Structure 1
Amino acid sequence: MRTPSNDLYELIKSLSGNEKSYIKKKSGNFSSNDKIYLKLFDAINKYGTNEKKIQSTLKIKGISKAKNYLYEIILKSLRSYYKDISVNTNLTDMLRDIEILYKKALFVQCSKLLDRAKKIAEKENKSIMLLQIFEMEYKLFINFHFKNSAEVSREREIRQLRILEEYSNTVKYSALSSKMLSFIKVHGHMRGVSAYTELTHIADDPLLKDVSNAVTEQSKSFFYNLNIVSTILLSDYEKACYYCRQKVKLIEAELSDDNSERKYALELSNLAIAETMSQQYSEAASTINKMKSILINAPSKEMKVLLFQIVSISELNLLIHAGKPDKLHALLPGIEDGLKNYKNSLNIYYKMNIHDNISKLFFMLRAFKKSLEWINPLIIEDPIQVRPDYQCLIRIFYLVIHYEMKNFELLSYLTINTYRFLKKMGGLYDFEETIITFMKRVSTMSGDSHIQEFKRLRKELISFNNNKFDKKVFEDFDYLSWVESKIENIPYPEIIRRKVAARS
């Protein structure tokens, strides 16, 4: 059960060293009666949720109220901390100060502050703020003839027009990005003619043909992001690698704070996926090591949680596609610790991805019971919170696990449930119907008849694998290799490794 003690402890535990120092510095403004809250802060930081230790150290009455008050103090201090480091907030405050100085007719001071604000806005590419600054400069120019040469006036006009052009360019890329996000939310993985048409319409936009069309840093970021997403969704992983590497270079040139570190980690994650899917396994391993080096020095809990998730997913994904499930045992203890330690901070999609990948690796090891244990929590997860396409693919793989466990009586029941679920979620494509029909047939047949059914299924899967509308499902799990392993009586990972060797 959640309690104020747990919430307060988790909040304090999540604080970085700089945040803790700032909060203690702010405590200098506390009244003498409030100093007890600083002692409570130190006690919880030291003893965690050990109530007896905290009580014996502080000996205060009404500790529950004190904890609630301390919780509010910390959040208030954090608001102040992030206000101090926010460029937008600083510029907004400066513009208010400029307006005040203007109204008080302190025009020289007003002009000096305008110059400072302009330098910050130009450095941080704050277009809207710059337009407000230019407007204020114009007021000074008209009314009080500051910097009143025609040359300066013309220069300001040119810069305003350029800023408007740059802002318009950024807005156009932002609108494209919104279209792509809407597409992913509705369709997830690209499936079917309608989704393919919608995706290619976005991907073929003239703005995405050449990076020179992007005239601001933000537009360039949108340009690469959109091309990365579209090439991954269209399974063009060679191009995805190119765009990912260009985006990584762009971010490496401006690494300076936690936010850019976060962007850097996420782009490395995209690059690792693209390299894995294009069979560049050594490059993917190198990219994952870069993410690990960031994790070691992660400055905040948020970054540690993010990096734990994307590193785990990238490593597990690499093992699956390289056909090396035996390496799971070395990774699993650390992943289990992370899932436990960060359980209240995990992104639901990342958590499901980790469970799904571990389930597939245990499947490859023929540890079907463990595979089922890892995927079971995903079956009961609220489908509203997760992309429908992901939920549908998980349920198809769920049937495959039960087939391997020879749960044929249960399998007959599960095929009906899965069919209904997929139909309700809009995920009942020809591929899914084919797998469900196969499972329904073999669940009532003797084992001797299964090979013929697998041979029939193989022909159908080859057709799907060659279809640009359905091939994406084979990236989630290589159903064709699994079927071939049953026909040839060869371990599934061996089929994967054989195909990897043939491609290299």
Structure 2
Amino acid sequence: MKPTTDLFDLIKRMTAQEKRYFKLTASLQSGDKKYISLFNLIDKQEKYDETILKSKLKSHDFESNIAQTKNYLYKLVIKSLIQFKSDSAIDSRLSNIYARSKLLYDKALFSQYFKSVSLGKKLAEEHERFGFLIEFIEIERMLTKKEDTVKGLKDRFYKEEHSVTEKILCINEYKKLISELINMYRETGIVRTDEMNKRVKKYIEIIELMNEKQLKSVTADERFLFAMYLALTLKGDFAGALKFAEKRKVLVEKNEKVFTNSVVDVSKEVHLDLITAHIRVGDLKIANDKLTKFRNISTGSGIDEINTDLAFYSLKVEEAHTGSIEEYRSLLNDLIEYLETMKGRVTIMTLNELTFGLAVLSFFRKDFVNTLKLIDKLLKGSNI
């Protein structure tokens, strides 16, 4: 059986900070520390080779149970990475406050309980973690304060819950529209028929109507701007899409609390979309400047590396339309090789877009053989 490279891949994707954190926490553990030696040896390898690894580990009595130790180390690294991220993550903090609130309720420490619930609700509202907010409203309902009963405010929980639920429904509607627009872009690219153009116009009408009627939240506003950016890109209105990309970036930067520790790093996503928008309107110098800024805010994580490379190659493809033929050939070879290594690591839509962009470039450089090869790759592969 071929040895798995899962642990090697995971360690190689760790940042220097994450590695230091792992070694620090691992050194504080009691018992045998042989897995730290394994971590260091794997980290030093450029390409995973278990045979070499086993020979180096003989002196540590690893050979007989290396698979078991690798599995244990993998779980330990994952746990360390989660802890590293959760130390500052609002979701982790809210989860702890929620658990604390339930504990204080069980202990009948109601004064402390109300303070804990109040803090949880406040933070959940500030950061627009509406799922947590619903949970805090629910546990607050378990013990209605005396003054609320006297003032006849018992139904306030239902009003609060209804308001939060409406906001969640609105955001979900935007997510549904965004998903449909992305699928449409994947299937057709920029629309080129009257029928498809009418479909996009209908989407824009729905998005604008939702924006007028929605129960306001920063998250919903951000989803509205992103949906408009996608719809106008589909329509081929790149200048209009750029304006919405700029507005979205301003909104996200003004509301850092809401987007901190999101599943997707929205602050970086808006930066990347803005780079793409500038490339599409031909502002290559501005796109280059913004790519430099993105590199500066990058943490060096695996996803940051991939996004930086994708933005870099998208930019180079556009620049190669006017560059020398030698530069074009060098880019062609580099990008074809890069796209092969990216299979399974980026979306099919991203692969398609770069492959098609390279095919268009080859056509304009009168390199018709490679144009046909690239188009054939798109048509024959599972990309479409």
Give the TM bin, normalised by the shorter chain: 0.7 to 0.9
Offset of 1:36 from its aligned partner?
A: 0.8
- Kindly tell me: are residues 80 and 7 of structure 1, through their superposed partners in 2, closer, same or farther at Cα, counting changes over 3 Å? same
Higher relative contact order (CA 8 A, sep 6+): 2
Structure-2 separation of matches of 1:148 and 1:214: 28
Q: Is 2:166–2:215's contact at 8 Å kept on the other side of the alignment? A: no
Offset of 1:10 from its aligned partner?
A: 1.4
Aligned to 2:113: 110
Structure-1 separation of matches of 2:184 and 2:352: 21
- Kindly tell me: are residues 201 and 368 of structure 1, through their superposed partners in 2, closer, same or farther at Cα, counting changes over 3 Å? closer
- Kindly tell me: are residues 157 and 167 of structure 1, through their superposed partners in 2, closer, same or farther at Cα, counting changes over 3 Å? same
User: Deviations 1:348-403 (Å, cap 9, x if unpaired)?
Assistant: 33234333333332333333344455555434422xxx34xxxxxxxxxxxxxxxx
2:130 maps to 1:127: yes
Q: 1:99 aligns with which of 102, 116, 125?
A: 102
Matches of residues 378-397 of structure 1 in structure 2 within 5 Å? Answer: 378-382=378-382, 386-387=383-384
Q: Is 1:276–1:317's contact at 8 Å kept on the other side of the alignment? A: yes
User: Deviations 1:190-213 (Å, cap 9, x if unpaired)?
Assistant: 354543333322211263586795
Matches of residues 294-443 of structure 1 in structure 2 within 5 Å? Answer: 294-295=294-295, 297-299=297-299, 300-317=301-318, 319-320=320-321, 323-324=322-323, 326=325, 328=328, 331=331, 335=335, 338-339=338-339, 345-372=345-372, 374-375=374-375, 377-382=377-382, 386-387=383-384
- Kindly tell me: are residues 262 and 340 of structure 1, through their superposed partners in 2, closer, same or farther at Cα, counting changes over 3 Å? farther
Offset of 1:254 from its aligned partner?
A: 4.2
- Kindly tell me: are residues 236 and 343 of structure 1, through their superposed partners in 2, closer, same or farther at Cα, counting changes over 3 Å? closer
- Kindly tell me: are residues 330 and 257 of structure 1, through their superposed partners in 2, closer, same or farther at Cα, counting changes over 3 Å? farther
Q: Is 1:288–1:315's contact at 8 Å kept on the other side of the alignment? A: no
Aligned to 2:35: 37
- Kindly tell me: are residues 241 and 47 of structure 1, through their superposed partners in 2, closer, same or farther at Cα, counting changes over 3 Å? closer
Amino acid at match of 1:177: I
Amino acid at match of 1:23: F
Q: Which moved more, 1:133-142 or 1:120-129?
A: 133-142
Structure-2 separation of matches of 1:248 and 1:288: 17
Aligned to 1:411: none
Structure-1 separation of matches of 2:358 and 2:57: 46
Structure-2 separation of matches of 1:377 and 1:343: 13
Q: Is 2:182–2:230's contact at 8 Å kept on the other side of the alignment? A: no
2:220 maps to 1:219: yes
Aligned to 1:228: 229
Aligned to 1:489: none
Matches of residues 155-304 of structure 1 in structure 2 within 5 Å? Answer: 162-184=163-185, 187-205=188-206, 207-208=208-209, 215-254=216-255, 262-278=265-281, 281=282, 283-295=283-295, 297-299=297-299, 300-304=301-305
Q: 1:61 aligns with which of 48, 60, 63?
A: 63
Q: How many positions carry a matched residue from both structures? A: 375
Structure-1 separation of matches of 2:182 and 2:370: 35
Structure-2 separation of matches of 1:169 and 1:303: 30
2:5 maps to 1:12: no
Fraction of identical pairs, as percent: 20
Offset of 1:121 from its aligned partner?
A: 0.6
Offset of 1:23 from its aligned partner?
A: 2.7
Task: Kindly name which structure, 1 or 2, has the bigger radius of gyration based on alpha carbons.
Answer: 1
User: Deviations 1:224-267 (Å, cap 9, x if unpaired)?
Assistant: 11111111111222221211211122223345857599434443
User: Deviations 1:320-340 (Å, cap 9, x if unpaired)?
Assistant: 4xx556453575676567557
When normalised by structure 2's length, the TM-score is 0.79
Offset of 1:151 from its aligned partner?
A: 9.7
- Kindly tell me: are residues 191 and 336 of structure 1, through their superposed partners in 2, closer, same or farther at Cα, counting changes over 3 Å? closer
Unmatched segments (≥5 aa) in structure 2:
none
Amino acid at match of 1:45: D
Q: Is 2:298–2:304's contact at 8 Å kept on the other side of the alignment? A: yes
Q: Is 2:207–2:227's contact at 8 Å kept on the other side of the alignment? A: no
Offset of 1:154 from its aligned partner?
A: 8.8
Q: Is 1:214–1:220's contact at 8 Å kept on the other side of the alignment? A: no
Structure-2 separation of matches of 1:263 and 1:224: 13
When normalised by structure 1's length, the TM-score is 0.63
- Kindly tell me: are residues 138 and 72 of structure 1, through their superposed partners in 2, closer, same or farther at Cα, counting changes over 3 Å? closer
Amino acid at match of 1:37: Y
- Kindly tell me: are residues 375 and 9 of structure 1, through their superposed partners in 2, closer, same or farther at Cα, counting changes over 3 Å? farther
User: Deviations 1:471-497 (Å, cap 9, x if unpaired)?
Assistant: xxxxxxxxxxxxxxxxxxxxxxxxxxx
Offset of 1:13 from its aligned partner?
A: 0.2
Amino acid at match of 1:10: D
Offset of 1:274 from its aligned partner?
A: 3.9
- Kindly tell me: are residues 265 and 129 of structure 1, through their superposed partners in 2, closer, same or farther at Cα, counting changes over 3 Å? closer
Q: Is 1:276–1:318's contact at 8 Å kept on the other side of the alignment? A: no
Amino acid at match of 1:120: L
Amino acid at match of 1:137: E
Amino acid at match of 1:39: S
Q: RMSD of the TM alignment (CA)?
A: 3.8
Q: What SS does structure 1 have at the residue aligned with 2:381?
A: coil
2:45 maps to 1:47: yes
Unmatched segments (≥5 aa) in structure 1:
388-504
Structure-2 separation of matches of 1:292 and 1:258: 23
2:70 maps to 1:72: no
